[in-house]
Structure 1
Amino acid sequence: MHPQTFGVLELFVKPERYVIPLYQRRYIWTQGRQWQPLWDDIRTKVEEVREKTAQGKQIRPHFLGAIVVAKRQTSGSDLDIYDVVDGQQRLTTFQVFLLAFRDRVKGLDRSVHQRVRAHTRNGNEDLEVRPHEQYKVWPTRFDQPLFTEIWGHSDPDALVQAVQAEQQQHRPVGNIKAAYAFFSTQLAAWLAQDEQHAAALLDTLKQYLQVVRIDLHPEDDPQVIFETLNARGEALQAADLIRNFIFQHAEQQHLDVESLFQQYWAAFDIDRSFWRELVSRGRVRRDQLTWFLTYFLTVQHGREISEGNIFDEFKTWWRGVMNLTVEARLAELKRFADAYLQLNQAAVDTRLGILRVRLDALDTTTLTPVLLYLLTESLPAAELDQILLNLESYLVRRYTAGLTSKNNNQRFLQLLTRLKERQRSEEALSEGALSAAFVRRFLSEARGDSVRWPDDAEFRTHLLNDATYKTLSPRGAVLLLEAAEARLHSDRQELLRFAGTSSVEHVMPRRWEKHWAPPTPDAGTDPAMLAARRDTVLHNLGNLTLVTQKLNASLSNKSFLEKKPHLTKQTLRMLNAYFQDRSTWDEAAIRERAERLADALLQTWPAPIAQGTALPEPIVPDPAVSSDAEKQFDHWLKAPSGYFQVEELEKEGIQGVQFIHRSWSRSWKLVVFRSEEDGEERLTFEVRNDFGVSDPFYARSQAVFARLKEPLELSFGEQLSEVGNGYRIRLDPDLSASELQGVFDRVCVLFIPAVEREITTSLALQAPSALTEVMQRAWPLLPEGWTFLMRDLEPGRKGQQLRIGHASWPTTLYLTYRIVQRQDGRLSVGVQDDTGKAFFLKAALQARWPELVEVVRQAFPGVEEKVGSGISQFVDVMLPLGAGSAEAAETLQALIAATQPLLEQIVAP
């Protein structure tokens, strides 16, 4: 980088052009936050210059910020062009200010006008330029029409009046045009105060209002500079950073940026389009583009994405698919964007549209990542509709039963992971990888109030007995009533009729005491008890119906005979046609109608597979491992493990196993055991931190466990509790072997990398090297579950490589990725298999190793490659001489992304 200091005028002295790349965001500076403070600074500095010049005192320049530019290669006849990497808002404002100054000084000082005009255009009688080269600053395509308008107009008063008229009518005015009007108005009044102001302003702009221009060298990375500086000025949104990142990348590869932008991104930047619409999700309000990027990245990474991490997570995804071209990656983004549009704009008479309406009523978006994934997988329409219906039923039944929704997000992330694994495995057998049968089975298998799918008996009980209007709120009551209306009209679930905005009417009014006859007493029945019984059914589903808001207000507390004609006039609603044959309305009638509506809703939303019913066979059965927990413990005791030595837990009243890491202190351990609690046998999993307070590693261990709390809670919800210095996960005693293994694997994926990172970071500080620098850069890029192995950094250990293993693979210490520093100083990144002949996966690894090598060759075309063979087999990608830690870290990320799917097929049980 080469920094230079310029006066504002000096920036525009030479016949050269500052071009804002098309993928930069448009001009967004405003009066309150930028224009007014800038004008105050300019005016104050002019007054200081005049005063100190008269007194002969020294004048210190005032700094107005910095811009970063990169010179573009041009042909011999073209003017020099500088792409503005950062500071485009500031630079554009300077030029707009000079245009306003040019126009306002025109009739006041001919000499100043000519000098200012020379700084707003290229070309004169000595230098002829082409029309498009006249502009000193060339904004993005969105701002070019407004900029050319203010650049070329001849009547500043007319332009200012037009802007003010549009603003008074609350019509949108482009910020560039509004900036010109603001500065033009301020300058007109200020210049009229003193005829010396014009010359003083010109002198101040030339010498005393200064800007640092940073010129990048060809080897500088514009994107890195941009990201480092983006916090200055108006904060950039995640979409702005992503757009810049993508198209900087495209420019570096000399691609047709304009074509790529128009085809894959331009729609996102259109004002007042769907993508710019602000939408609230709970208490958070974002535009649709930001919501979409969040959901898209959730699908790609299989975990929750926060708004603050969108850009970093996007870069991780982008670099993880480096085997795809830039256009292929953009096409993938657009494919999911089209699915997001399809979801949000589906007609309400389609299965997808019905689901969207009902999700809005439930005020939930936790299902969105799953829906995006399903919509991009080209499923048969009938199969997709059935999946959507099962998902809807799961949510509505839980909602109606009053079950918590706080674990829905994690449950659907688990479903998303399972669907993606099945799709990759290509072992869908006859039912298909993404089948409705599989989704129904997955949802039905869940046990416990936090995740279960209510059956018909439970669902009916709540429909018949709950005070629906209160427990579900009016919006929930509308959801159920509209669904019943659709079912009563037709047995076709896709038929959903809406007759305008619906309002919930209590047929028997809430204030029945003053307007309706009291309940008919039975012999010996207390009237107060009868009144209380009536109160309990007022808000029940059977007493609720849908009417227009206008009719609802007019019906109010009228008697049933007065209400009946108004209700039955709405015979298009089957809900209200019901009242034609009723002459009275009491508790018995409410119960009878509730039964009818419950029947309709039970048909609307299918039930889970009943407990005790034989579930369809899993897609990947595992007959070798018993579902009995005792045999699973025995399996662990005998099975080889890369990370752990496994010991039987010997404690009175407890049967279990404990896993002790081969390299860590025994104070870190994982334990799973069976015990009896309140007469019920339970399975419990514990992550223990048994360091004593006096141990030197105690504080750091506590920090590791503190960081583990949130991801463990997201994975296990109400099953998780804190115990001592660790965490306990209480499990269903009837978990199958594969489910129990799944819990173990999930804990390993969270726990092992956290501890390994703490240890390796500590060891790297003790002995920094080129490899430890790579490690520090690579940590944020590693996909979930991958971790550097601390034993490679242990004191006294010789070697020039760092290995990276997966926390849940049984081959962790033998099948690894590696980063090697070669004797010639070069770095290489590769995959190696050091398993012995007797290892149970060795035959599979050897058989598929050629396939793995081919995957690497396809992912890294043109990169020098070194392939080994034999018992210890490896394939390394050799980086060029001089390649540093950043290149090695990104190559590792890309290599994992390319080869992990194949390796998982080999190591999966």
Structure 2
Amino acid sequence: MKVQQDTINNFFSLNSTRFAIPVYQRNYTWATEHCAKLLEDIVAITKDKNKTHFMGTITFIIHLVSEENSLRNTQEYVIIDGQQRITTIMLLLKAMQQISTNEQIKNEITRFLSDGSISNRLRLKPIKRDREAFALVMEGRWNEITGFSNIKQNYHFFIKELRGYIEKGYSIEEIYSAFLRLKIVGIGLEKGDDDPQVVFESINATGVHLEGVDLIRNFLMMGEDSNRQQNLYDRYWKPLEECLVKESVIKDFIEAYLRIYYGAKVKKNDTYYTFKQHYKEHFSNDIEGLMKNLCNYSRIYQIFIDEHFNLARSDILDKKLVILRQKISNIVNLKFGVSYPFIMQLANDFEQEKLDFENFNAMLELLISYHARRAICNFESNALNKVTYELYKNLLNSYDVSSEGLERFLGQRDGREIFPNNERVKRAFEECSAYSLKSHCKFILYEIEKLINAEPPKDENLEIEHFYPQNPVEEWREFVGEEYERLESIYLHTFGNLSLSGQNQKLGNKPFKEKVELLLENGSLKLNEYFTNMDTWGIENIKERSAYLAEKFCEVNIFRDISKEYRIKPLLKTLADNLTNYPLRILHFPNGEKCNVKTGRELAKAICDYIYKNHKEKAQKFIGDENPPFFTFDETKATHKANSDGSISIEIGCEEGKFWFISGASLQNIGKNLEKFITSCNLKAQDFKIES
């Protein structure tokens, strides 16, 4: 590493030296305020020839590049920090040359602006996107620049400002002399002796940070000379940018790409260091191999962002490729983003003819069914991260990368990762807040429509319609009767009260009979024929229609259940187990009775009620004699405890009055306290079983 503080005069006087802006750098972006500050700093030292001004550092990698038609080498300084600064200096020099009438100054600037080689090229080689505008300015043909250009704008700014300073009494000779006294620190890195990436990371740790994509792009090409950089950029990085277009999409793609190798270990704000680890572990000393792999997956990633993009497989009919694209579009619309790394690997196998159409298509359908069923049953979506990120690896190591392998794997999931079966889905349909699912809701209703209608209308023309309106007029409430409040609070947004329509504004709050007539007259949707013979509309009607739709849902092939042979028997936890993150569903009592429970509060009430009903004396003795901290007969104490630290307080009714069960709100705390209560009544916690 060579570090030297010097004046601009000496730094730009080097013969056979060219400055190259790396191809991976961003466009020239300095605004006029940056240029104004630089010029102000120069003018401030014009009157005192002993004064200098430090304008910063320029860091570069030194390469020796052969000159054309010569045995000589040119030193190429590949700029890794200072691109904006050095480009601005060149524009200012050209502006001073244009303004000056001093031939000596004009000739000196000409030498500064060229590299001193036999071919006498411009000393600065900008990136391709800035190269034409820069060359036109240097050739005095700035008026030929089309469109907006920071290069053109800042050159004009310098011309205008220099003339302004001359009008104020400054001479161009004074300004030029002050310019030559500017000081910079040049940090030259020599290939083989220094690691430019380490230096760049140190520089990036101060000032304005580059992030993720920029750092990765720099890492891939920084160590190469400008010709090699251009080759790598044109062959691999430019196609990647053309595929993905937006910076945000490239960022998402790189995260998904890294998850192929590192799964859930990838952190959103740490992709750069994970990428470096990936290079070291999987592509050591093979930058081009890594870029080729990255470029290939970026092309595949288009299946998530371009509705017209098809995978490449010459032996597969276009019709089948369109089917795959439609299935993947469904996954995108369902916002099942955590499945992208798995699908990318399947798509890669498919293009390499390791995976056939039938298996790929069936696997996509299983993913759709898995996601839709879990949404209906209100399972946490973040539980899918662990499943999907490691899915390909699990299939490869323990099953088979096929639809049967995927079905077997998903059939083994339980707890938070479970693939809900038909029975559970049908139960959930009744009270599922389907309207809040938005994309799921419309997709599910439309797939049911396709099942019962041989010629369904196009889905883009349809919207979700509430049969009982979201904002009902009084006539609707009178029609439903006294249960309208319960309907509006619990059943308004459930599947049973929802349908599809292309005329929502026309339907609005229309009375029941008018609404039915309009639905039938102005549409070809079979879903709405259900309402034909209806004379009433209330909670029971909604429940019945929910049950009907649930049956139809289970008949849709894309939502099919896993074969029973691949499912494990439901695993039951007991009150003796840690219930953290365990999805509650059915509580089995020791006497064979059972009840539905969804929350820790419902679980605690059900068990307290059961014990007090069936083992009253033991319960009274324990509560009265032991005075446990999780029971109280004092309502004020129970309320205060709940309000002060977020504990749950559950009222239990009995012949003697009321008492309260108090516990920390987590399932683990509730379970431990209930276990103490159960064992203190000479019962076994293992006999209280909970089905997920």
AA aligned to 2:408 is R
Distance 1:415 1:333 in 2: 20
Give the letter aligned to residue 64 of structure 2: R
Change (3 A) 1:720 1:201: farther
| Contact 2:24/2:221 (<8 A) preserved | no
**Match for 2:26: what amino acid?**
R
Residues 98, 255 of structure 1: CA spacing in aligned structure 2 closer, same or farther, 3 A cutoff?
Answer: closer
The letter of the residue matching 1:297 is: L
CA deviation vs aligned residue, 1:455-496 (integer Å, no higher than 9, x gap): 111211222343422xx3444432322332333345xxxx99
Instruction: Give the deviation of 1:580 after TM superposition.
Output: 8.3
- AA matched with 1:468: A
Give the letter for the 1:417 counterpart. Answer: K
Deviation at 1:147, TM superposition (A): 1.6
| Residue 477, structure 1, aligned to residue 441, structure 2 | yes
Counterpart selection for 1:381 from 349, 357, 361: 357
Quick one: which of 176, 180, 183 aligns to 1:210?
A: 183
Q: Which has the larger helix fraction? A: 2
Closer, same or farther: CA 6–250 of 1 in aligned 2, 3 Å: closer
Q: Which has the higher contact order (CA 8 A, sep 6+)?
A: 2
Distance in 2, matches of 1:600 and 1:197, equals 86
1:437 Cα offset (Å)? 1.3
Q: Is the 8 A contact 2:22 2:222 kept in 1?
A: no
SS at match of 1:71: strand
Contact 1:398 1:453 in 2 (8 A): yes
Deviation at 1:289, TM superposition (A): 1.1
Give, in angstroms, the shift of residue 399 of structure 1.
Answer: 0.8
Is 1:277 matched with 2:270?
Answer: no
Name the Cα RMSD after superposition.
3.8
- Report what 2:381 is aligned to: 405
Count the aligned residue pairs: 560
Q: Matched residue of 2:381: which SS?
A: coil
- Is 1:444–1:608's contact at 8 Å kept on the other side of the alignment? no
Pick closer, same or farther for the CA change 1:73–1:347 going to 2, 3 Å: closer
Alpha-carbon distance change, 197 to 500 in structure 1, aligned in 2, over 3 angstroms: farther
Cα deviations by residue, 1:562-618 (Å, 9 ceiling, x for unpaired)? 334543355344434x268457462365455434432332123445447xx44389x
Determine the structure 2 residue equivalent to 1:70.
62
Distance 1:71 1:250, change over 3 A: closer
Partner residue, 1:506 = 466
Tell me the alpha carbon deviations over residues 6-37 of structure 1, each in whole angstroms, 9 at most, x when there is no partner.
32343322343434365431324332xxx524
Q: Give, in whole Å, the separation in 2 of the partners of 1:351 and 1:571.
A: 27
Q: CA deviation at 1:178?
A: 3.8
Residues 33-52 of structure 1: pairs in structure 2 closer than 5 A:
35-50=32-47, 52=48
- Tell me how far apart the structure 2 counterparts of residues 399 and 236 of structure 1 sit (CA, whole Å): 38
Pair 1:333 & 2:309 matched:
no
**Which of 525, 531, 538 is 2:492 aligned to?**
538
Counterpart mapping for 1:91-106 below 5 A: 91-103=86-98, 105-106=99-100
What is residue 519 of structure 2 aligned with on the other side? 567
Counterpart-to-counterpart distance in 2, 1:599 and 1:571: 23
Give the counterpart of 1:516 among 468, 476, 495.
476
Q: 1:185 to 1:570 in 2, by over 3 A?
A: farther
Is residue 451 from structure 1 mapped to residue 412 from structure 2 by the alignment? no
Distance across 2 between alignment mates of 1:487 and 1:182: 67
1:228 to 192, 199, 202: 202
CA distance in 2, matches of 1:111, 1:70: 31
Q: Which moved more, 1:362-371 or 1:473-482?
A: 473-482
Residues in 1 aligned to 2:549 and 2:82: alpha-carbon distance in whole angstroms: 63
Which of 141, 144, 149 is matched with 2:131 structurally? 144
Classify the secondary structure of the residue corresponding to 1:48. coil
CA contact (8 A) 1:484 1:601 kept: yes
Q: Which of 77, 82, 90 is 1:82 aligned to?
A: 77
Q: 1:485-634 maps to which residues of 2 (within 5 A)?
A: 485-489=449-453, 498-500=458-460, 502-516=462-476, 518-519=478-479, 527-529=481-483, 532-533=486-487, 536-548=490-502, 551-564=503-516, 566-568=518-520, 570-576=522-528, 578=529, 581-582=532-533, 584=535, 586-587=537-538, 590-604=542-556, 605-609=558-562, 613-615=564-566
Q: Which residue identity does 1:90 align to in structure 2?
A: R
* Paired position in structure 2 for 1:301: 262
What TM-score, normalized to structure 2?
0.71
> 1:14 corresponds to which residue?
14
- The structural deviation recorded for 1:294 is 0.8
Contact 1:264 1:334 in 2 (8 A): yes
C-alpha distance in 2 between matches for 1:569 and 1:109: 87
Contact 1:191 1:198 in 2 (8 A): yes
Structure 1 position 414 matched with structure 2 position 390: yes
What stretches of structure 1 of length at least 5 have no aligned partner? Answer: 167-172, 279-286, 423-427, 521-526, 618-626, 628-653, 655-677, 680-717, 722-732, 734-909
Q: Which amino acid aligns with 1:454?
A: P
Residue 181 of structure 1: CA displacement?
Answer: 3.9
Q: In structure 2, what is the Cα distance between the partners aligned to 1:405 and 1:362?
A: 12
From 425, 429, 432, the equivalent of 1:466 is: 432
Corresponding residue for residue 661 of structure 1? none
Q: Deviations over 1:841-876 (max 9, x none)?
A: xxxxxxxxxxxxxxxxxxxxxxxxxxxxxxxxxxxx
Amino acid paired to 2:364: L
Farther-moved stretch of structure 1 (255-264 vs 61-70): 255-264
Distance 1:213 1:719 in 2: 62
Name which of 173, 176, 185 aligns with 1:199. Answer: 173
- DSSP-derived class of the 1:72 partner: strand
Which residue identity lines up with residue 309 of structure 1 in the other structure? D
Q: Is the 8 A contact 1:274 1:288 kept in 2?
A: no
